[in-house]
């Protein structure tokens, strides 16, 4: 039982799934030619075979005997990041911060210790020299006496130093550049990434030091990385947004110590990332001149209502087949909504190109956005602008009916606060209390919506 043995397994370098034999196409993610071979040690001595939370025995405990003290949290000096984490970073937790290159991961993670100088931080970088980090810190306008910069990529050395330094917070930039000498493959490979994360998790759990691990992710997700780590780490924060745009959205997609689907908005400025405490005002660009093809949605992400702009462009298809493209919105959902418009309301969009864009580089999953998408498409199609003080919150069903959405009252209140005068919702929406300062227009289906807006 105590003996160990070595066996060969195959990993898909795209999704990280493990197989016992080589395959041309990964059954899990469908990618071709992504298999890489790796030797693993199995048995009790194998790395990662055991992992437990410090201070906890290896015996099952009756649930009623488990003490429930509040988790110990450390504030990171950024109200928005603290909120995303559920009130600060939990001691001994491993947080993965993923995002495309250039989106601002290094900037944000360096900004945290600079804005919270009393925290002793160990910032490990495998991507930049200490000089480069210093230059960035100068640009961010911060001096932190307690922030140690360590340019190193060998996990053995890093963990040794970390134990000596015993910081309050450790940041590792990035998982793709680190390597463990015990694993026989290059930095950035699936096996290295997994092992680096596992080592950091062990370190965090045994020392109680919170660790922020940065991981690059590409648009297509082709580089093995954060995706395969999501189940290992405690929290996953993901940076989204167009690199060219000023706004960046940090979203919590997994959190063992708090709620998920919360988001925080940042603006990239010349001196680092600025928190946008009230996203409504930032995400709605000035739209005084009535342009057709835009509609404002009152949406809810996580627990926070805010308003943002949906843009659509409908034009005659130049080539035989019409194009449908959506940025920040599920293109299948767009196709579904267009089919509903065609079948249930008689709009002939089959020969039209339809482009949809969520302003601010946001990725939208709230179904309440359907109504604004439909309105933006119709507005562009008729070339009729929507009044600037009108917003929408409703889900659209397959038979063209408009369905109520969650927390409609909070959306209406937020819309009123930002200055909107009318909000369109489903006829079936129930308000305990009539929202103040905004007219609620109830519509049952798409024909009723068209009558109300495009007479
Ligand atoms: P960076 O944080 O290095 O991104 P990542 O670590 O995710 O790859 O860089 C973000 C981008 O932001 C980079 O193109 C430079 C720019 N930037 C600013 O506009 N202002 C600043 O103060 C800083 C530090 C960077
Ligand atoms: Mg970086």
Pairwise CA distance, residues 162 & 212, whole Å: 13
pLDDT band at 218 (very low <50, low <70, confident <90, very high): low
Ligand 1, CB within 6 Å, residue ranges: 99, 101-107, 136, 139-140, 268, 270-272
pLDDT band at 248 (very low <50, low <70, confident <90, very high): confident
* pLDDT attached to residue 222: 42
| Inside any domain, residue 60 | no
- The first and second tokens of residue 68, run together, are 């429930």
Most informative mutation of 174, 268, 269 for ligand 1 (most atoms within 8 A of CB)? 268
Residue in the block written with tokens 């550049």: 177
| Inside any domain, residue 78 | yes
Query: Are 263 and 293 members of one domain?
Result: no
- The first and second tokens of residue 97, run together, are 């911060």
Residue 94 has pLDDT above 90, yes or no: yes
Region 94-114: what's the mean pLDDT?
91
Minimum mean pLDDT among 238-242, 294-298, 406-410: which range?
A: 238-242
CATH number of the CATH domain containing 219: 3.40.50.300
* pLDDT attached to residue 418: 84
* pLDDT attached to residue 445: 94
Pairwise CA distance, residues 182 & 46, whole Å: 11
Instruction: Please check whether residue 204 is in contact with residue 94, taking contact to mean a CB–CB distance below 8 angstroms.
Output: yes
Tell me the CA–centroid distance for residue 101 and ligand 2, in Å. 7
| Inside any domain, residue 54 | no
Taking residue 270's Cβ as centre, other Cβ atoms within 10 Å add up to 5
Query: Are 264 and 303 members of one domain?
Result: no
| Inside any domain, residue 173 | yes
Query: Are 264 and 293 members of one domain?
Result: no
* pLDDT attached to residue 47: 46
| Inside any domain, residue 325 | yes
pLDDT band at 1 (very low <50, low <70, confident <90, very high): very low
Region 93-102: what's the mean pLDDT?
91
Task: Give 361 or 36, the one with higher predicted confidence.
Answer: 36
The DSSP-derived string for 70-133 is PPPEE--S-HHHHHHHTSSEETT-EEEEEE-TTSSHHHHHHHHHHH-TTS-EEEEESSS-HHHH
Tell me the CA–centroid distance for residue 283 and ligand 1, in Å. 21
Q: HEC states along 330-386?
A: CHHHHHHHHHHHHHHHCCCCCCEEEEEEEHHHCCCCCHHHHHHHHHHHHHHHHCCCC
| Inside any domain, residue 383 | yes
Collapsing DSSP to helix, strand or coil, 282 comes out as: helix
Tell me the CA–centroid distance for residue 121 and ligand 1, in Å. 20
Instruction: Please check whether residue 222 is in contact with residue 14, taking contact to mean a CB–CB distance below 8 angstroms.
Output: yes
* pLDDT attached to residue 423: 96
pLDDT band at 52 (very low <50, low <70, confident <90, very high): very low
Q: Which atom of ligand 1 is nearest to the CA of 104?
A: 2
Pairwise CA distance, residues 27 & 32, whole Å: 10
Instruction: Please check whether residue 169 is in contact with residue 210, taking contact to mean a CB–CB distance below 8 angstroms.
Output: yes
Pairwise CA distance, residues 137 & 376, whole Å: 43
Phi (first) and psi of residue 13, to 5 degrees: -75, -5
Region 271-291: what's the mean pLDDT?
74
pLDDT tens for each residue of 383-397? 999 998 899 999 999
Minimum mean pLDDT among 42-46, 297-301, 315-319, 409-413: which range?
A: 42-46
Query: Are 222 and 291 members of one domain?
Result: no
Report the Cα 146 to chain-centroid distance in Å: 30
* pLDDT attached to residue 32: 86
Collapsing DSSP to helix, strand or coil, 193 comes out as: helix
Ligand with smallest separation from the Cα of 108: 1
Enclosing H/E stretch for 63: none
| Inside any domain, residue 26 | yes
Query: Are 252 and 317 members of one domain?
Result: no
Query: Are 260 and 306 members of one domain?
Result: no
Region 368-391: what's the mean pLDDT?
93
* pLDDT attached to residue 58: 63
Residue 238 has pLDDT above 90, yes or no: no
CATH number of the CATH domain containing 426: 3.30.230.10
Residue 57 has pLDDT above 80, yes or no: no
Region 213-227: what's the mean pLDDT?
67
Tell me which of 220, 250, 277 is where a domain ends.
277
Pairwise CA distance, residues 37 & 34, whole Å: 10
Task: Give 278 or 289, the one with higher predicted confidence.
Answer: 278
pLDDT band at 4 (very low <50, low <70, confident <90, very high): low
The DSSP letter of residue 25 is B
Q: Whose CA is nearest to atom 21 of ligand 1?
A: 272
Query: Are 98 and 178 members of one domain?
Result: yes
What are the Cα distances from residue 175, in Å, to 84, 154, 255?
21, 11, 19
Minimum mean pLDDT among 49-63, 160-174, 371-385: which range?
A: 49-63
Residue 49 has pLDDT above 50, yes or no: no
* pLDDT attached to residue 132: 93
For residue 381, give its domain range: 281-453
Query: Are 360 and 260 members of one domain?
Result: no
| Inside any domain, residue 303 | yes
Range picked from 45-49, 131-135, 215-219, 250-254 for highest mean pLDDT? 131-135
Q: Which atom of ligand 1 is nearest to the CA of 270?
A: 20
Report the Cα 53 to chain-centroid distance in Å: 27
* pLDDT attached to residue 11: 79
Collapsing DSSP to helix, strand or coil, 403 comes out as: strand
Minimum mean pLDDT among 64-68, 175-179, 297-301, 341-345: which range?
A: 64-68
Whole-number average pLDDT of the chain: 85
Query: Are 124 and 187 members of one domain?
Result: yes
β-sheet bridge partners, residue 99: 216
pLDDT tens for each residue of 391-433? 999 999 999 999 999 989 989 998 998 889 999 999 999 888 8
* pLDDT attached to residue 50: 47
**Alpha-carbon torsion 181, 186, 187, 189, what sign?**
negative
Query: Are 391 and 365 members of one domain?
Result: yes
Total-model pTM:
0.76
Tell me which of 234, 253, 277 is where a domain ends.
277
Give the angle 356-323-287 at the CA atoms, nearest 5°: 25
What is the number of domains present in the chain?
Answer: 3
Q: How far apart are the first and last CA of the chain?
A: 78
Query: Are 236 and 343 members of one domain?
Result: no
Region 228-252: what's the mean pLDDT?
82
β-sheet bridge partners, residue 5: 42
Q: Which atom of ligand 1 is nearest to the CA of 214?
A: 6
Tell me the CA–centroid distance for residue 98 and ligand 1, in Å. 14
Task: Give 221 or 112, the one with higher predicted confidence.
Answer: 112
Query: Are 300 and 268 members of one domain?
Result: no
* pLDDT attached to residue 312: 95
Residues whose CB is less than 8 angstroms from the CB of residue 290 and which lie 6 or more positions away in sequence, other chains included:
385, 386, 387, 388
Tell me the CA–centroid distance for residue 282 and ligand 2, in Å. 25
Angle between helices 446-453 and 331-345 (to 10 degrees): 80
Tell me which of 257, 277, 297 is where a domain ends.
277
Radius of gyration, alpha carbons of the chain: 25
């Amino acid at each position: 039982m105590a003996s160990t043995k070595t066996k060969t397994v195959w990993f898909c370098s795209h999704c990280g799934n493990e197989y016992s034999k080589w395959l041309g196409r990964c059954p899990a993610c469908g990618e071709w030619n992504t298999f890489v071979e790796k030797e693993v040690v199995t048995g009790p001595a194998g790395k990662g075979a055991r992992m437990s939370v410090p201070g906890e025995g290896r015996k099952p405990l009756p649930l009623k005997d488990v003490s429930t003290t509040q988790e110990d949290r450390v504030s990171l000096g950024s109200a928005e990041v603290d909120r995303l984490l559920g009130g600060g970073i939990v001691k001994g937790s491993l947080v993965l911060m993923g995002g495309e290159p250039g989106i601002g991961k290094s900037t944000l993670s360096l900004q945290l210790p600079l804005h919270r100088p009393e925290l002793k931080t160990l910032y490990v970088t495998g991507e930049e020299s200490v000089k480069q980090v210093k230059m960035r810190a100068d640009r961010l306008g911060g001096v932190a006496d307690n922030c140690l910069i360590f340019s190193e990529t060998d996990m053995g050395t890093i963990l040794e130093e970390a134990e000596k330094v015993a910081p309050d917070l450790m940041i590792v930039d990035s998982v793709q550049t680190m390597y463990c000498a015990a694993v026989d493959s290059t930095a950035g490979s699936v096996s290295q990434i997994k092992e680096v994360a596992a080592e950091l998790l062990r370190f965090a759990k045994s020392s109680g030091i919170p660790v922020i691990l940065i991981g690059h992710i590409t648009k297509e997700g082709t580089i093995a990385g954060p995706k395969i780590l999501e189940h290992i780490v405690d929290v996953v924060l993901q940076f989204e947004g167009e690199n060219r745009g000023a706004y960046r959205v940090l979203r919590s997609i997994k959190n063992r110590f708090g709620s998920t689907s919360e988001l925080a908005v940042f603006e990239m400025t010349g001196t680092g990332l600025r928190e946008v405490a009230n996203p409504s005002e930032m995400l709605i660009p000035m739209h005084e001149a009535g342009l057709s093809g835009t509609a404002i949605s009152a949406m809810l992400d996580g627990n926070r209502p805010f308003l943002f702009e949906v843009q659509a462009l409908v034009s005659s298809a130049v080539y035989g087949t019409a194009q449908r493209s959506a940025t920040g919105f599920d293109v299948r959902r767009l196709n579904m909504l267009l089919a509903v418009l065609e079948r249930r309301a008689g709009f002939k969009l089959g020969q039209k190109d339809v482009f949809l864009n969520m302003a601010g580089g946001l990725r939208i999953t709230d179904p309440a956005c359907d109504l604004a998408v439909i309105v933006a498409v119709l507005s562009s199609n008729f070339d009729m602008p929507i009044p600037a003080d009108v917003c929408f919150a409703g889900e659209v069903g397959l038979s063209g009916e408009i369905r109520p959405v969650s927390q409609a009252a909070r959306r209406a209140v937020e819309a009123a606060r930002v200055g909107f005068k009318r909000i369109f919702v489903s006829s079936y929406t129930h308000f305990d209390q009539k929202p103040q300062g905004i007219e609620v227009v109830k519509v049952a289906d798409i024909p009723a919506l068209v009558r109300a807006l495009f007479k």
